[in-house]
């Protein structure tokens, strides 16, 4: 008897996969041979054959987006009847073809496949259906528009849905039984009964964890909204780089030792990074910009948004006119701004207007991360911690302190190469900080 093979479901949320055939009709396959590759939006997999035989029919085209759990090919003995396994729902790409006048009339198909599934659909307008029938259909991915209602007053009831399963999806369900193990990792062995056919594939047992519902604060709600909006509307990606921090560490040590003598503020690594960012942005106006859909607003000055962790949640106060400030001014103003945000009494005017944002998680030991852009800015720089790396020198290998930088940018506004050029320039500026100070 011919065996259908389904598109496995790689995880609960996966609805369809792109298929790439590794076999052709008429090929002989053994158990373990690769039948096809398939790709979700996140990963690629290969499907091995569970049976030996001849590939009788490929039910979908190479590159089709195929619904999970639907049949994709049939393996059996050459010449076997495979009509019962015809896929019930053709991939959506195939749909336009039906409109082509040159296609054979539908009647011919149903004649040819006497047991075949789908009588031409009654009505796609389903206004009467029992909750049970609806749930069963949803669970089994059945196409309700094909259902023939037999309940009182034209209501679709469970048995009508079961007919859909029997005719069009019986195979799918049976195959799901065979493949459920491989697909979702919970193994269904033994014979497949009709009851099993109507049952959903077994999934790992669900264990509810205890929980407490905590109401969101206003700040939390605003953050949630902003973050989700940012990620859902932009084309964000992140580059990670690092630079040799020896120079800035030395510089900082120097400043620290002469702080009192020169009446300097306590200049931190973050201040130094801010300063370097401001100077580097001069050469990269697209990174100091707002993306406005059909235009870019390139700023002449630099207003740096500083991500500050506060008791109420993340706040991003703006260091206005940073390009006009010396390093010690940046240091003084940044500290005052952060303190004001943490006190919870910061003016709302200071929480917007940034042209570029810096988020520093280095103190928390982050090696790299993907900061989320504060729209409509085009970039955000993540400052990471210092790790020790080795670089090859003429004498061999030398250990140096490497500070990580993660730049997230909006690919709608900036392409990868210019973004990386900005990051590279920034790294260079920081590695040669004494030179930068001279600028």
Note the residues at the interface with another protein (CB under 8 A): 130-133, 135, 150-153, 155, 157-159
User: Nearer to another protein by C-beta: 198 or 406?
Assistant: 198
At closest approach, how far in Å is the CB of 194 from another protein? 12
**Structure tokens belonging to residue 187:** 């193994």
How far apart are CB 152 and another protein at their closest, in Å? Answer: 6
296 token code pair: 């870019």
Cβ burial, residue 146 (10 Å; 0-12/13-18/19+): buried
Cβ-based nearer residue to another protein, 152 or 189: 152
**C-alpha neighbours within 13 Å on the C-beta side of residue 304:** 30
Question: Percentages helix, strand, coil for the chain, rounded to the nearest 5?
Answer: 35, 25, 40
Closest approach, Cβ 69 to another protein, in A, equals 22
CB of 205 to another protein, least distance (A): 18
- 8 Å CB contact between 5 and 47: yes
Give the dihedral sign, CA 274/278/279/280. Answer: positive
Residue 122: CB minimum distance to another protein, A: 16
Shorter beta-carbon distance to another protein: residue 110 or 130: 130
Q: Which tokens in the block code for residue 163?
A: 């007919």
Residue whose structure tokens are 């073809």: 97
Nearer to another protein, 158 or 410 (CB): 158
Strands 65-67 and 53-58, sheet pairing: unpaired
d(CA 121, CA 164): 11
Q: Report in angstroms how near the CB of residue 22 gets to another protein at its nearest.
A: 42
Pick 131 or 293: Cβ nearer another protein: 131
Instruction: For 33-55, give one letter per residue: b (16+ CB within 10 A) or e.
Output: bebbebebeeeeeebebbeebbb
Give me the active site residues, please.
411, 415
Query: Are 393 and 256 spatial neighbours (Cβ–Cβ below 8 Å)?
Result: no
**At residue 437, what are phi and psi to the nearest 5 degrees?**
-60, -25
- Beta strand residue intervals within 120-233, DSSP E: none
Cβ proximity to another protein, 134 vs 312, nearer residue: 134
What are the tokens at 375? 């729209």
């Amino acid at each position: 008897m011919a065996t259908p093979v389904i598109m496995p479901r790689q995880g609960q949320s996966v609805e369809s996969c792109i298929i790439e055939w590794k076999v052709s009709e008429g090929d002989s396959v053994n158990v373990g041979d690769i039948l096809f590759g398939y790709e979700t939006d996140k990963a690629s997999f290969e499907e091995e054959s569970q049976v030996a035989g001849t590939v009788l029919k490929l039910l979908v085209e190479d590159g089709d987006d195929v619904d999970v759990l639907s049949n994709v090919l049939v393996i059996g003995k050459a010449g076997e009847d495979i009509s019962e396994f015809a896929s019930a729902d053709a991939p959506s790409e195939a749909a336009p073809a039906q409109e082509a006048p040159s296609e054979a009339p539908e009647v011919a198909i149903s004649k040819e496949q006497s047991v075949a599934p789908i009588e031409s659909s009654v009505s796609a307008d389903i206004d009467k259906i029992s909750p049970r029938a609806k749930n069963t259909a949803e669970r089994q991915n059945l196409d309700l528009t094909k259902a023939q209602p037999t309940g009182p007053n034209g209501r679709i009831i469970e048995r009508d849905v079961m007919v859909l399963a029997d005719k069009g999806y019986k195979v799918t369900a049976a195959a799901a039984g065979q493949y459920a193990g491989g697909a979702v990792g919970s193994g269904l062995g033994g014979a497949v009964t009709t009851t099993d056919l109507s049952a959903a594939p077994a999934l790992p047992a669900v264990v509810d964890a205890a929980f407490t519902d905590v109401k969101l604060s206003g700040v939390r709600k605003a953050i949630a909204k902003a973050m989700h909006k940012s990620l859902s509307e932009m084309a964000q990606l992140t580059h990670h780089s690092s630079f040799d921090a020896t120079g800035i560490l030395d510089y900082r040590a120097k400043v620290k030792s002469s702080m009192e003598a020169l009446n300097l503020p306590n200049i931190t690594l973050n201040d130094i990074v801010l300063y370097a960012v401001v100077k580097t942005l001069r050469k990269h106006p697209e990174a100091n910009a707002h993306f406005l859909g059909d235009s870019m607003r390139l700023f002449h000055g630099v207003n740096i948004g500083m991500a500050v962790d506060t008791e109420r949640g993340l706040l991003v106060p703006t260091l206005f006119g940073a390009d006009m400030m010396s390093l010690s001014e940046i240091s003084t103003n940044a500290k005052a701004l952060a303190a004001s945000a943490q006190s919870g009494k910061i003016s709302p005017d200071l929480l917007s207007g940034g042209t570029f944002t810096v988020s520093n998680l280095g103190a928390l030991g982050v090696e790299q991360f993907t900061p989320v852009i504060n729209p409509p800015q085009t970039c955000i720089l993540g400052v990471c911690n210092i790790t020790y790396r080795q670089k090859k020198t003429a004498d061999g290998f030398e250990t140096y302190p490497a500070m990580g930088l993660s730049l997230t940018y909006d690919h709608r506004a900036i392409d990868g190469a210019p973004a990386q050029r900005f990051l590279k320039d920034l790294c260079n500026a920081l590695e040669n900080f004494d030179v930068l100070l001279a600028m």
